[in-house]
């Protein structure tokens, strides 16, 4: 899909620079406030719990070098997420308000996206890009999830922005922007290892080489960058290595090299299939990923000769998307959310597509494509309204367990129909702004439905209801968790019960990482140990592994057992009769 070859507008436009900055900051504040609505709902899910509990145990133990979960070291990720969460716990006490950490990262990303869009295409396009980012499905969901990925997105976007200013801005200020870029990458490394450096470095290096050849190495001041990076990153890594013998090898070799080859031990994660990873990228980037085809022609042709510093903005953004999605597509250990750092680039390209569409129109082929999008939304919504509940109940076994989730199927279908009808009207009127507005009108209530779905899913996936059920057992009852190899999902149960949990050894045993060698005594009990404790007469409560689907409690605990409660695939069993939940 291509447009006229008329030179696109690159001036500031009707919105001034100062006003654009203020508007971007205002947008970030409004979006942050909306994202924080009912932030304590739902309770921690599996992945969030390990970071929340790590922060709680940091404050409790006073050890800010080595994160602990269930009072055993857990060094699979650097501790920036736990550090920031610990600050919130100091102020307000341990709670789900630690999700302010990813919300703050999302707000930074919004401002950076607006400002980068303003530099590439003008202030109006930058602000539109911010609105599109704020209404992207994956961005909203991740901003309410306590894990390092939103920090990585902010680091990648901010580093690319700093590099672009250094390349195209005032030459006298070039060094300070490069210093900021390397410092940001160092901070990002403290969130999730070398990932931010790789994701930001790939498009930066390729665009620099394209514009300057081998002279790009000198222009990037790599030596200075390495020194800054070491100053930011080395202290914690050195302290963690001294405090935890074996950590350096595990961190460099096991958590990075062997992880990329899907040979890491312990095998506490399984890579997603390539098709699922790519489908997740499309879903998380929706609906604005639909606009990417409209910018392909401009990216292929390029206009670097007319761009400041020889840097073509559209090519930069496409490289940002392709290298992020492509690098993880090559790694067998990929997980579905690894493409998240590409979302700001998707929003910027979608805003550019809007700008091109309002200038030149979408053309016959483009209008046909957008008509198909509108019809697909309309048809999908109509089908969902008529058959959605039956279809999802048949395909997703746990959905019927929550009436709250099933009740959201019909509103989702209505929203899809509304968005589809509005899109068709806007295409008929040949209004680029109308098409974007139609999708915004559709995606905003849909995002509200998604957040409501997460809250409704608490009973199935959060550990807070499990902890509340365990409040009904007598004081002194031993709590046992049927641990998978990814035992750290116990973190949220620690968080809500405020105690250490006895862990049943994973089936097939557990291969500890190097930093736990000689430190696993008392970490797990065997099935024989559980049998003895179960029959001892002392009260014991067992929580089953939520990664195992079981339609019956038989075989989870020794007989006789009593069902205290059930939450999705989490069974809570005791060795003594207890009043069950109603």
Is there a domain that residue 218 lies in? yes
Is there a domain that residue 85 lies in? no
What radius of gyration, in Å, describes the C-alpha atoms of the chain? Answer: 26
Produce one character per residue of 444-473: b if its CB has 16 or more CB atoms within 10 Å, e if not: bebbebbbbbbbbbbbbbbbbbbbebbebb
Q: Helix (H, G, I), strand (E, B), or coil: what is residue 63?
A: coil
Q: Helix (H, G, I), strand (E, B), or coil: what is residue 503?
A: strand
Contact 341, 319 (CB under 8 A): no
470 with 522, same domain?
yes
Q: Which residues contact 248 (CB under 8 A, 6 or more apart)?
A: 237, 241
Q: What CA–CA distance (Å, rounded) separates 25 from 501?
A: 44
Contact 105, 154 (CB under 8 A): yes
334 with 264, same domain?
yes
- Of 423, 458, 493, which residue constitutes the final position of a domain? 458
pLDDT of residue 302: 78
452 with 438, same domain?
yes
355 with 368, same domain?
no
Q: Cis peptide before 560, with omega less than 30 degrees from 0?
A: yes
Q: Helix (H, G, I), strand (E, B), or coil: what is residue 473?
A: coil
Phi, psi (rounded to 5 degrees) for 503? -110, 130
- Of 458, 490, 514, which residue constitutes the final position of a domain? 458
Is there a domain that residue 74 lies in? no
The total number of structural domains in the chain stands at: 3
299 with 191, same domain?
yes
387 with 354, same domain?
no
Is there a domain that residue 438 lies in? yes
Q: What CA–CA distance (Å, rounded) separates 579 from 111?
A: 53
Q: What CA–CA distance (Å, rounded) separates 561 from 14?
A: 71
pLDDT of residue 9: 41
Strand 478-482's sheet: what is its strand order? 502-504, 478-482, 540-543, 570-574, 562-567
Q: Which residues contact 415 (CB under 8 A, 6 or more apart)?
A: 381, 442, 445, 446, 449
Is there a domain that residue 299 lies in? yes
344 with 370, same domain?
no
Q: Which residues pair with 183 in a beta bridge?
A: none
471 with 442, same domain?
no
Contact 349, 120 (CB under 8 A): no
Contact 396, 453 (CB under 8 A): no
409 with 526, same domain?
no
344 with 448, same domain?
no
Q: What CA–CA distance (Å, rounded) separates 420 from 438?
A: 8
264 with 316, same domain?
yes
pLDDT of residue 4: 39
**pLDDT tens by residue, the chain, 582 residues:** 544 333 344 443 445 677 888 999 999 999 999 999 999 999 999 999 999 999 999 999 999 999 999 999 999 999 999 999 999 999 999 999 999 999 999 999 999 999 999 999 999 999 999 999 999 999 999 999 999 999 999 999 999 999 999 999 888 899 999 999 999 999 999 999 999 999 999 999 999 998 888 888 899 999 999 999 999 999 999 999 999 999 999 988 888 887 777 777 777 777 889 999 999 999 999 999 999 999 999 998 876 545 666 679 999 999 999 999 999 999 888 889 999 999 999 999 999 999 999 999 999 999 999 999 999 999 999 888 776 666 666 666 666 677 677 788 889 999 999 999 999 999 999 999 999 999 999 999 999 999 999 999 998 999 999 999 999 999 999 999 999 999 999 999 999 999 999 999 998 888 889 999 888 888 999 999 999 999 998 999 999 999 999 989 999 999 999 999 999 999 999 999 975 443
Is there a domain that residue 65 lies in? no
Residue range(s) defining the domain that contains residue 380: 363-458
DSSP per residue over 303-363, as a string? -GGGSGGG--HHHHHHHHHHHHHHHHHT-TT--GGGGGGGHHHHHHHHHHHHHHHHHH--H
- Of 439, 458, 477, which residue constitutes the final position of a domain? 458
DSSP per residue over 11-40, as a string? S-TTS-HHHHHHHHHHHHHHHHHHHTTTTT
């Amino acid at each position: 899909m291509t447009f006229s070859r008329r030179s696109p507008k690159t001036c500031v436009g009707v919105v001034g620079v100062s006003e654009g900055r203020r508007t971007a900051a205002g947008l970030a504040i409004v979006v942050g406030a909306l994202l924080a609505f009912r932030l304590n709902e739902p309770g921690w899910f599996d992945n969030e719990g390990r970071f929340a509990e790590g922060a709680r145990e940091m404050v409790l133990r006073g050890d800010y070098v080595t994160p602990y979960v269930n009072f055993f070291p857990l060094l699979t990720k650097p501790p920036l997420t736990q550090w920031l969460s610990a600050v919130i716990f100091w102020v307000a006490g341990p709670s789900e308000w630690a999700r302010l950490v990813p919300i703050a990262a999302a707000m930074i990303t919004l401002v950076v996206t607006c400002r980068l869009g303003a530099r590439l295409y003008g202030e109006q396009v930058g602000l539109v890009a911010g609105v599109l980012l704020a209404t992207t499905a994956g961005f909203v969901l991740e901003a309410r999830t306590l894990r390092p990925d939103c920090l990585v997105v902010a680091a990648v976007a901010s580093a690319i922005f700093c590099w672009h200013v250094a390349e195209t801005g005032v030459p006298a200020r070039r060094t300070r922007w490069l210093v900021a870029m390397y410092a940001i990458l160092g901070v990002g490394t403290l969130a999730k290892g070398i990932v931010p450096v790789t994701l930001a470095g790939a498009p930066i290096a390729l665009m620099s080489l394209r514009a300057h050849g081998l002279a790009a190495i000198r222009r990037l001041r790599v030596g200075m960058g390495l020194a800054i990076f070491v100053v930011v990153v080395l202290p914690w890594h050195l302290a963690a290595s001294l405090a935890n013998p074996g950590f350096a090898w595990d961190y460099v070799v096991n958590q990075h090299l062997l992880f990329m080859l899907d040979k890491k031990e312990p095998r506490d994660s399984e890579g997603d299939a390539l098709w699922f990873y790519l489908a997740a990228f499309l879903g998380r980037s929706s609906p604005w990923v639909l606009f990417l085809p409209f910018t392909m022609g401009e990216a292929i042709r390029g206009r670097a000769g007319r761009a400041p510093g020889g840097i073509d903005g559209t090519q930069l953004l496409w490289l940002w998307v392709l290298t992020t999605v492509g690098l993880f597509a090559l790694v067998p250990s990929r997980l579905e959310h690894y493409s998240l750092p590409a979302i700001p680039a998707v929003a910027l390209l979608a805003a550019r597509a809007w700008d091109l569409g309002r200038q030149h129109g979408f053309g016959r082929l483009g209008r046909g494509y957008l008509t198909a999008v509108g019809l697909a939304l309309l048809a999908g919504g109509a089908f969902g309204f008529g058959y959605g509940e039956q279809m999802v109940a048949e395909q997703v076994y746990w959905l019927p367990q929550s009436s709250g989730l099933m009740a959201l199927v019909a509103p989702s279908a209505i929203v899809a129909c509304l968005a589809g009808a509005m899109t068709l009207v806007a295409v008929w009127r040949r209004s680029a702004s109308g098409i974007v507005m139609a999708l915004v009108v559709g995606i905003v209530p849909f995002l509200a439905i998604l957040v409501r779905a997460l809250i409704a899913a608490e009973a199935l996936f959060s550990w807070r209801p499990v902890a509340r059920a365990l409040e009904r057992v007598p004081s002194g009852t031993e709590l046992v968790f049927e641990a998978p190899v990814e035992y750290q999902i116990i973190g949220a149960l620690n968080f809500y019960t405020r105690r250490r949990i006895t862990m049943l050894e994973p089936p097939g045993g557990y291969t500890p990482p190097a930093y736990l060698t000689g430190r696993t005594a008392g970490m797990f009990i065997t099935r024989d140990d559980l049998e003895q404790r179960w029959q001892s007469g002392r009260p014991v409560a067992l929580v089953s592994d939520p990664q195992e689907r079981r339609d019956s409690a038989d075989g989870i605990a020794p007989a006789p057992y009593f069902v205290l409660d059930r939450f999705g695939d989490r069974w809570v069993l005791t060795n003594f009769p207890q009043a069950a939940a109603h």
